[in-house]
Every structure is written in structure tokens, then in C-alpha cells.
């Protein structure tokens, strides 16, 4: 079968033939319909220090996907061929303290598809049956392929109660935009999204941000006064990984405010710890998705009218993956999909 593979220790990816997966007793093989490109895939393409230490050579990459189940292992009972599915790309160990306590998103031994084991940028992907999420009938396969980042957005947004709160989201990438949609959907008072990219701020507005701010051109403090935020934001979701964004959040928080951190920040970011301590702020790191409550809630959000369709801005045939990667890098895109059924 065709797959997009990291074939040499260096920048680049190639489309090549690899062996089709054979399911073990508890595994499921899925014929891939759509995949979506993540920032992680760009790091693997570029072969940065993290990728060089982590990703095996010769392996298919990619972890955001949807498709149709084609084979199930002999012990699989609750997934059947023909079901439209996506899946959790984090495989957990099942025996560490957190796994045994039902907190699988905090597993100490997580392995990722497309990172540690063969990924989804291929005509077929194999995952444990327990990781399969059957798509509700109302969810198109295109939307199913972005459940992984939609899950990051959902997990982050629901970490703190947003109802009636003033919410700041720094970073209008796809996850920030989806988090804005969720914050609005669950009843936040103001949903303010900041970035320095007007295209992405436009997407955030299309998805439900009540106010977007290009912080290269406008002062966030002025906007806060204009829209009636007197004492500061109640909740902030940091989605950019930009040190300047984190620094801009802290003085704008209400005393006792809560900050969820999803964007991966550099190791050496200095912040004003006096603000954190004297204003009694809570900073919480977020990783992955809760298994599988986040997934359940995503299905319900879409059933109850959450409209994320504007975030899918491009779809390319899988063979044109180079152009698709370039489109992601341009910054002038939301989610960019590869279609594995159209060549």
C-alpha cells in the first residue's frame, strides 16, 4: 500500500510502498479516507532534534485520520468492518498508576501513532480496537479526520468552567480557533482571540470568537476596557507556544485567574512569577485528550450544533502531499486534509 514515510535521517518525506498491516487479536485495520496535517508532522518532515531522537526511519507518519474499518482481530467484539471511524492516536500502557486509576491521558508510557509506531498517512492504519472512536452518523469523514486536534481544543477548553467567564485565547491556529468555537458554544461571556496573523484571526472570527485582536497592531488592554473587562480575564487558553503570548496573558488575568497551557513553549521562557504568586494564578499544562470523555463530548458538541466546518480550508489528493505541507507552512490555512481515496 502507499504511505508517506520518513525514509532517510534528514528533512523530507516520500510517498512509497509499505507492507499492509496484519491485525493482532485486539487490533483493527482501517481503510484511511482522510488525514489531516499537524504541526508535529512538520517537525518530523524537518527532522528537528526531537524528531531525530524519536521517530524510527522507514515508518509511515501522521496521526490525524478518519476511515472505514476493513478488518478486525479475532478477539475484537465491539468494532465491526464497515464502521466509519477515527481513533485516539495515543496508545497507553494499561498498567501504570494513572492507567489503572482510569486517567489514561496521564499514562507515563504513552506511544503515539505516526511518531513511535506506524502512522495514518497511508492507505491503511492499524490501532487497538480500544482506541477506535466510531463516528456518529451526523459527522462527515472529513470532520472525523480532525478529531485529534478538535480533542486537544476540547480538552483544553473544558479544563476550567467557561460558563459566563471572560476568556482569552492566545494563538489562532486551528486548535485556538476550535477552542474559540467551543468556548462560545458552552456559554462564555467574551471570547477574545489574539494572534499576529490576520488570516488566522479571520478564521477565529468565523468560528465564533467574539473579538479578535492582532497584537502587533492593537493593545490588548485597550480592547479589554472597550468590551467591559475591568478586572481581567477569568480564563486564558495559551495555544501559540509563543513566549510573548504567555507574557501578555499574565498581567491581564483577574486575581485567581486560571491559565491552561497547550502550546509547547521553549525551555527557557522567563515569566513574571510575581504576578503568578501575588495574583494567585493557576497554570495548568494540557496534553492529549481524556480517554474517552473528551471524545464523547466532541460527538455531542457536533450533534448539538457546534459548527467547525470553516476550519477545514484545503483538501489535496494524498499524492500532492508536498503542496499540502507547503500550504500548512504558508500560515494561510486552517486544517489541510489529504484525501486517500482520490489518488
Catalytic site positions? 40, 43
Q: Is residue 106 close enough to count as binding Zn ion by CB under 5 A?
A: no
CB of 95 to Zn ion, least distance (A): 6
Q: Is residue 92 close enough to count as binding Zn ion by CB under 5 A?
A: yes
Here the cell at position 182 is: 467551543
Distance CA 32, CA 189 (A): 39
Q: Is residue 107 close enough to count as binding Zn ion by CB under 5 A?
A: yes
Per rule CB under 5 A, count of chain residues that contact Zn ion:
6
CB of 110 to Zn ion, least distance (A): 7
CB of 130 to Zn ion, least distance (A): 13
Distance CA 212, CA 204 (A): 7
3-state DSSP assignment of residue 261: strand
Candidates 11-19, 87-95, 246-254, 258-266: pick the segment binding Zn ion (CB under 5 A). 87-95
Distance CA 265, CA 300 (A): 31
Residues 6+ apart with CB under 8 A from 167: 183, 188, 189, 190, 191, 192, 233, 234, 235, 236, 237
Q: Is residue 206 close enough to count as binding Zn ion by CB under 5 A?
A: no
Q: Is residue 319 close enough to count as binding Zn ion by CB under 5 A?
A: no
Neighbours of 73 (CB within 10 A): 17
Of the pair 102, 343, the CB lying nearest Zn ion is at 102
Of the pair 153, 286, the CB lying nearest Zn ion is at 286
- Side-chain-facing half-sphere of 207: CA atoms under 13 Å: 33
Distance CA 85, CA 66 (A): 6
Candidates 107-115, 137-145, 204-212, 230-238: pick the segment binding Zn ion (CB under 5 A). 107-115
Report yes or no: 122 and 4 within 8 Å, Cβ to Cβ. Answer: yes
* 1, 42, 93, 206: which one binds Zn ion (CB under 5 A): 93
CB of 291 to Zn ion, least distance (A): 11
Candidates 39-47, 108-116, 271-279, 303-311: pick the segment binding Zn ion (CB under 5 A). 108-116
Q: Is residue 96 close enough to count as binding Zn ion by CB under 5 A?
A: yes
Candidates 11-19, 22-30, 104-112, 297-305: pick the segment binding Zn ion (CB under 5 A). 104-112
Greatest CA span in the chain, whole angstroms?
Answer: 62
Q: Is residue 215 close enough to count as binding Zn ion by CB under 5 A?
A: no
Give the single-character DSSP code of 331. Answer: S
Chain residue whose CB lies nearest Zn ion: 107
- For 219: left if phi > 0, alpha if psi spans -120 to 50, otherwise beta; the answer is beta
Of the pair 93, 276, the CB lying nearest Zn ion is at 93
User: Phi then psi for 54, rounded to 5 degrees?
Assistant: -115, -45
Per the DSSP assignment, residues forming a β-bridge with 125 are 30
* 33, 72, 99, 191: which one binds Zn ion (CB under 5 A): 99
List of residues contacting Zn ion (CB under 5 A) = 92-93, 96, 99, 107, 109
Amino acid at each position: 500500500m502507499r504511505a508517506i514515510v520518513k525514509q532517510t535521517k534528514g528533512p523530507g518525506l516520500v510517498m512509497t510502498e509499505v507492507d499492509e498491516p496484519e491485525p493482532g487479536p485486539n487490533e483493527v485495520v482501517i481503510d484511511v479516507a482522510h488525514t489531516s496535517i499537524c504541526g508535529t508532522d512538520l517537525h518530523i518532515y524537518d527532522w528537528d532534534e526531537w524528531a531525530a531522537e524519536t521517530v524510527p526511519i522507514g515508518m509511515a507518519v501522521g496521526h490525524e485520520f478518519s476511515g472505514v474499518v476493513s478488518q478486525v482481530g479475532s478477539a475484537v467484539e465491539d468494532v465491526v468492518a464497515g464502521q466509519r471511524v477515527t481513533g485516539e492516536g495515543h496508545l497507553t500502557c494499561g498498567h501504570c498508576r494513572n492507567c489503572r486509576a482510569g486517567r489514561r491521558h496521564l499514562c507515563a508510557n504513552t506511544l503515539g501513532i505516526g511518531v513511535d509506531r506506524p502512522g495514518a498517512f497511508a492507505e491503511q492504519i492499524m490501532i487497538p480496537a480500544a482506541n477506535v472512536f466510531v463516528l456518529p452518523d451526523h459527522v462527515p469523514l472529513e470532520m472525523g479526520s480532525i478529531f485529534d486536534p478538535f480533542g486537544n481544543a476540547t480538552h483544553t477548553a473544558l479544563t476550567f468552567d467557561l460558563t459566563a467567564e471572560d476568556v482569552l485565547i492566545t494563538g489562532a491556529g486551528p486548535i485556538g480557533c476550535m477552542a474559540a468555537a467551543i468556548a462560545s458554544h458552552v456559554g462564555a461571556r467574551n471570547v477574545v482571540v489574539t494572534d499576529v496573523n490576520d488570516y488566522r484571526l479571520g478564521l477565529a472570527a468565523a468560528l465564533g470568537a467574539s473579538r479578535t485582536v492582532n497584537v502587533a497592531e492593537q493593545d490588548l488592554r485597550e480592547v479589554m476596557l472597550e468590551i467591559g473587562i475591568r478586572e481581567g480575564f477569568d480564563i486564558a487558553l495559551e495555544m501559540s507556544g509563543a513566549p510573548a503570548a504567555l507574557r501578555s496573558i499574565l498581567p491581564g488575568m483577574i486575581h485567581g485567574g486560571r491559565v491552561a497551557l497547550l502550546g509547547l513553549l521553549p525551555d527557557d521562557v522567563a515569566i513574571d512569577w510575581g504576578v503568578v504568586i501575588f495574583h494567585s494564578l493557576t497554570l495548568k499544562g494540557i496534553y492529549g485528550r481524556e480517554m474517552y470523555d473528551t471524545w464523547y463530548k466532541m460527538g455531542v458538541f457536533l450533534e448539538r450544533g457546534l459548527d467547525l466546518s470553516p476550519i477545514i480550508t484545503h483538501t489535496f489528493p494524498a499524492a500532492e502531499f508536498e503542496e499540502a505541507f507547503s500550504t500548512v507552512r504558508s500560515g494561510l490555512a486552517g486544517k489541510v486534509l489529504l484525501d486517500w481515496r482520490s489518488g
